[in-house]
Amino acid sequence: MAHSDTTAEPTRRDFLLLTAGAFGAVGVASVAWPFIDQMNPDASTRALASIEVDISALQSGQSITVLWRGKPVVVRNRTDKEIEEGKAVKLEELKDPIARNANVDPSADATDANRSAKDKENILVMVKVCTHLGCIPLDESGEFGGWFCPCHGSQYDTAGRIRKGPAPENLPVPVYAFTSDTKIRIG
């Protein structure tokens, strides 16, 4: 009788090979898990996934900086003059014509309206980190009266749009929503 004509029953060797393979896979997974798990965000970062900011004391021309996800976020109550200056800028004059606002269409133009809060154009919310090398710009500085990064000379206007210097993009606007007239939820 030929070997191919018989049906082979599992042997003890087959069982041992299968068991050893299963233990090996469990061992590899248990060694790999700490490396994979350490790539998750820190618990303190996850806790700050969204924050609520009270802007009731924020007067026209003032700004506050809050920490969100480990980054400084500026909330500015712009003056009428700053809003008018922002609206007067032509898109052709901008280095970055994209709004960089997570609350509008990703391809939206960097008009003043697309950078500020809808129906509350005096309120501006932005991540205050220079898009060149991650420095923190100074408030109300530079040629355009917005933000100035002294490290490499990037200058942003009153709507947070890059106007001069090596920074390639406008300051990003995070996801935010007004929960009331005086409170903003960021994130």
Same domain for 110 and 165, yes or no, is yes
Phi and psi at residue 56, to the nearest 5°: -65, -30
CB 123 within 8 A of CB 117: yes
What's the rounded Cα separation, in Å, for the pair 28 and 152? 47
Q: Record the pTM.
A: 0.70
- Nearest one of 53, 57, 73, 83 to 146, comparing CA atoms: 83
Residues 176 and 143 in one domain: yes
Counting residues of the chain whose pLDDT is more than 90, the rounded percentage is: 36
Which CATH number goes with the domain that contains 132? Answer: 2.102.10.10
Q: How many domains does the chain have?
A: 2
Q: Which of the four pLDDT bands, split at 50, 70 and 90, describes residue 75?
A: very high
174/92 Cα distance (integer angstroms): 24
Residue showing tokens 């965000």: 41
Q: What is the pLDDT of residue 5?
A: 57
Write out the catalytic residue numbers: 152
Please report which confidence band the pLDDT of residue 9 belongs to, taking 50, 70 and 90 as the band edges.
Answer: confident
User: If you average pLDDT over residues 88-101, what whole number do you get?
Assistant: 89
Q: Are residues 132 and 176 in the same domain?
A: yes
Structural domain boundaries, residue 69: 46-186
128 shares a domain with 82: yes
Residues 26 and 104 in one domain: no
Same domain, 154 and 65: yes
In a shared domain, residues 108 and 27: no
Residue 161 sits in the same domain as residue 180: yes
36 exposed, middle or buried (CB, 10 Å; 0-12, 13-18, 19+)? Answer: exposed
Domain match, 133 and 153 both: yes
